[in-house]
Amino acid sequence: MDTHSAYLRQAGVCLHITSLPGPYGIGEIGEHAKAFIDSMQAMQLSVWQFLPLGPTAFGDSPYQPLSTFAGNELLIDVNDLICSGFLEESEVHALTLLPHDFVDYGALIPAKLALLQLAASRFDYNASAAMKAEFDDFKQRHDESWLHDYALFRTLKTRHDERPWPEWQPQFVHREPEALRDWEASNASNIEAIKIIQYLFYRQWRELRDYARAKDVQLFGDMPIYIALDSSDAWANRELLRIDDDGKPDCVAGVPPDYFSADGQLWGNPLYNWDYHRAHGFDWWIERLRAAMELTDIVRIDHFRGFEAYWAIHADADTARHGNWEPGPGDALFDAARAALGELPIVAEDLGMITAEVEALRTRHHMPGMKVLQFAITDEQFNLSDIEENCVCYTATHDNDTTVGWYTGDAEAIHTDLIQAAFSTDAYLAIAPLQDYLGLGSEARMNVPGTAENNWRWRFSTEQLNDRVCNDVSKMVQASRRGRLV
């Protein structure tokens, strides 16, 4: 059964959680997320796509998370912590003074982390018996696989002034058992606090997912193919990667030069030790996909072509110009995952220079690909009728300028025109960023690839997503005969 077989032709929206409105300096997974789902219903949109949910580090990019399994604590709903008795309203006042139209990460992060630590310190006294039992179950299910290592990693990272783990003291870089035992003994309360905070994230996310299901809204997540070197996964399981005991990679990830970049793109992530994954039945990947499927209904995997072949760049290189194509795991990974998990609700990010072999891999596993109209319509040979059913058609992605900002012609409603074009295709799912539904310009751009500042900050206001906008979008959905779940 294809990923999209449970759908009538549908319409969706791309909006990261951080961009939601709210009084506490960043979008959160509580009442404003539920209100957005209500607005989606009014617009007749039935798929909500967002960016990766992992904890972010320097640069605030959700595509370089500190863990592939942990949730981003900055997204925890503060109001829920007040209602649960873990925080007082007076204690969160500083967050209300932060900007409401963008995320000021520099001011937000220390203030919110301090409040989360305070909330965690009150858990034993204020949590209900049911919550304590849930927390014990949460630890029992996740401690061994990722939670304990993540809590150790975060406390040790704080101890080392947030530096990457290869720069820590040698005994912690090399995970010497005696050093870790001593650290655990002397930092037990801080380690437990990290686990409580993770439990609070997952508890709130479960409530949000239940709410979305009740409203027939599907949650569409995003998974980077590579993990960050500075992550608990790499620190605790370096056998997964092509790195030595000191955390130094032999080669790193990127893509070769193309018409977008004369030097290619040097991402710097460590490459996978695919021989190890193959020898262990792709267990880590299976657990990674299982975790994603517990959070979302659909998941996009970034840089899908890396499963067929990936560009390996020497770790000391300054650009991605020189490297080698090396074979990825191919069918074996997806065969193993399907055997363990059943049908895989995966969308393959297959943008850029894609070979016939990559397309064949995607097709064999019935995975929808992506079409982005901002890219496609610049091709003189492009025709909307060429977009196949088994794909997701976008006006733009989080890496593009908004459609209004991108267009250089003289059309007042270019954003509406492009949305209607996406809706008119045979694609089983058509998605536009909220910025395009709102008709916003470049000031609302989410990310400029290759830059390190002023990204991931944009937020919308409740007033922007008003009844007029909802009605206009609803009419476009109806006119295109894009319906809800069947």
17/32 Cα distance (integer angstroms): 10
Please, are residues 404 and 441 in contact by the beta-carbon 8 Å criterion?
yes
Show which residues are catalytic: 302, 349, 399
Query: By three-state DSSP, how is residue 433 classified?
Result: strand
Amino acid at 307: F
62/227 Cα distance (integer angstroms): 11
The structure tokens listed for 352 are 């850029």
Please, are residues 13 and 49 in contact by the beta-carbon 8 Å criterion?
yes
Helix axes 188-214, 148-159, angle to 10 degrees: 120
Looking at the DSSP bridge assignments, the partners of residue 389 are none
369/391 Cα distance (integer angstroms): 5
**3-state SS string over 326-376?**
EECCCHHHHHHHHHHHCCCCEEECCCCCCCHHHHHHHHHCCCCEEEEHHHH
151/149 Cα distance (integer angstroms): 5
Question: What is the side-by-side strand order in the sheet with 47-49?
Answer: 346-348, 298-301, 218-223, 47-49, 10-14, 429-433, 391-394, 369-372
122/114 Cα distance (integer angstroms): 13
The helix (run of H) or strand (run of E) holding residue 253 is: strand 251-255
Cβ count near 221 (within 10 Å): 21
